[in-house]
Amino acid sequence: MTDAKKDAPAPAPAPDAWTKWVALSTTLLAVCAAFATLKGGSFSTKTQLATVSASNKWAYYQAKSLKETARDTESTIIKTIEASATSPEAKAIARKAIDKADEEIKRYKGEKAEIMKDAQFLDSEAAYSQARGGNFGLAIMFLQIAIMLSAIAALMKKKSFWIVGLCAGAIGVGYLTYAWPLYEKLNPPPAAPSHPDAPKAAK
């Protein structure tokens, strides 16, 4: 009976109480990191969409500029023809063509102004989404560091790693809090432009 007691394995040491908190804190940090990743990805998508839309608007603006330049050149040529015309009928025809070209030039200028407003708004929206998404990115970085240090602490039974990880996690949660509920209040998003007297689009 004595020999049996001697051969029995020694009972496993009871885990430290703080390791239970490591598991709990790591779970909470992982949830925060997953949420930050989801929101950060959303703003990354918004940045890409706004950037592409802004590029399209600026290309449209350039196309209108080319048409305006062509009509301006046409008006200048017709004015030269009008000046050299001898008959009243030729002058009247030239004047009618000049008035039509000038009217189109005026319309293109108005359309360009509206297109520029939209393009500048989309540029601002892309910059806003990129800046806000950057804060989510910083939150993800610090939260991942915190999770890694907590895992090391649990494996090596080093409480100091866990404490450092909690500090990193607190910074990550701070960035997450700033990027999610506070950022929009402290930094309002750009307002969409209004077009009360927008001219009809010309072909």
- Whether residue 5 lies inside any domain: the answer is no
3-state DSSP assignment of residue 197? coil
- Whether residue 199 lies inside any domain: the answer is no
Q: What is the pLDDT of residues 38-92, one digit of tens each?
A: 999 999 999 999 999 999 999 999 999 999 999 999 989 988 888 887 888 888 8
- Whether residue 82 lies inside any domain: the answer is yes
Taking the model in full, what pTM does it have? 0.77
Per the structure, the complete domain to which residue 119 belongs is given by 19-186
- Residue whose tokens read 């885990």: 15
Query: What's the structural domain count of the chain?
Result: 1
Residue 35 sits at φ, ψ, to 5 deg, of -65, -45
- Whether residue 195 lies inside any domain: the answer is no
Written as tens digits, the pLDDT of the chain (203 aa) is 445 455 555 454 545 678 889 999 999 999 999 999 999 999 999 999 999 999 999 999 999 999 999 999 998 998 888 888 788 888 888 889 999 999 999 999 999 999 999 999 999 999 999 999 999 999 999 999 999 999 999 999 999 999 999 999 999 999 999 999 899 899 899 988 887 655 454 44
- Whether residue 3 lies inside any domain: the answer is no
- Whether residue 34 lies inside any domain: the answer is yes
